[in-house]
Structure 1
């Protein structure tokens, strides 16, 4: 492209210079010779007038006086008595320019000028025009190269940017080139890079969220299956553990649906009136064996029969996250308290451990923030699930740690329109 642009610009410049330069050179050459003839005519008339004036006043006409006034000219003066006077050096024959004038009184004047001087002047003008033409060509080539570089380098940069987008390097370059059309393309590519970066980040977040959110149900499901294997000779236990395993599998399905909704940026939620007792009891039943193995226990207290607007699977996942967080980072007995508070239904989870370090107190719900070797996703995702259903998750007390899930209360109209879900789904 650069070569084509350079050649096309050069061709236009050559044509323009030829169309303008050739007529200008011809006209200049002709004007120089015409001006030389007119100058000789003027000089002839002036000398003739001077001779007539001298003769009419009785003064003598001398060749030396005439030659002093017109250096570089060969002058021949013929007087009325046929006396011939010459002034200046005669130019070589065939190389002079002549002009001749004679009056009725018998006075004649002939002035000659060497043609070489006129030729040199004409040649200098032609060389000047040629030099200007070459300078114009050089400037044109330089401008063409500059414009070609100005156009082609941005296109190369844009091609590299598009290639980087194809390889997954979605960092916008924020580079502009001073060409509106090219800058528009660069702006579109930068916006595309931002969108691709967001998609890649969302994909990575989804993978991390999915792995974290599925870990807890899979652990519980594995425990139930282990109990079934150990209790193979006890049909009642096997049926009970099988039912619990089926419940865990249903929870896994619900978690997957929630994660897919998050990946689709679905923030409408599936909140419905849910009885908290069964959801809390189901989580206590799942986690109590794990806590007992660690020499700890779970204690349930507070009001009974509370109903909140929440997704059953979401609330189960939030409580599972808080219990897992307490198991890993806390100590002593875990206390789960349910109560009504200022227009909300509250579920508090606390333990007797050292609590949240002061440096993490304000950032405990941020992504990738952890007080130990965890992923730092649990509390972040738990708060996200609470927000989806119109609730919130807060740290009520840092040391020892007490977390609270605030859920929307259910009014009478909602209770009439939709039955209360009394068990985990």
Structure 2
């Protein structure tokens, strides 16, 4: 996008310069023609006066005499009232399609003076090198301005695209641009609203699944116990015991159906956004390895279990970012992170001492209080149906997230 905006600025600047140059050239050419016409009119009146004096002195009016009083770059035609025209062509005269001609009528006849207009066009266009240099300078300046403007215009849109991609991966802590561009503000507001609505929906689904599981399984379990107790009693007839056994089989079916219904609410968070655990671990480790390297800390990440299990990357990225933000703010030495892939959960462990005590952080003056990221990670993990245990200070820090 930046390249297209920069090229558009350059083309626009060149178009404006060429258009302005064409208008300026046309205006200057007309001014020069008017000025030349005024001078030629003065020459025509002067020549007409000289011819009257020569006629008064009974001197012949010849082409040689007219040439002696006319400009060398002009053509003069004297047309008497009762005679043949006398034509005088200057040595520097060159006829063309843009010739300028004026006439002056006196008692003896009409004097017409014509001057070539080609010289005026040459004056306007006689510096092609200067024009090319001007165009090159304008194009360069427009390119620099266009590049800077393109960066300012494209950056909010790129951030919005990244935020939309994060929302599509299941992340709700969107990094939206701070801009005064109305269109970008509208898109950012829509993304923020969508993130809040999706997060609220996930919380409601989790609450529903927990409540549904409790509301369904509790009476089913009670009924199962009653039926099992009925089956083992000695004072119960055989037909009643057989009926209780059949009912117990139906209870098992109901419990299995209730379990499947609850599992349906725990499906994929974002359909089509899942990635293999191996790829997800590489992305998280690479991003934070670069950030921790700025503080001269090394990140080592290991993955165990089925690496082909699919996970929605958003929740994993969001929780690990919050936890590792505390790691980046406090502590020293290498950071070890272990990921365990289970059938229904992803377990992430960071060993004890990864996050230092608040008072021991050498970055404490310039950074937020260590531990705030872990606290926020607990809330996020709980919203997704997981949990965070430990603090990373005196004991292991463990994150448990469901496969969604």
The normalised TM-score by structure 1 is: 0.30
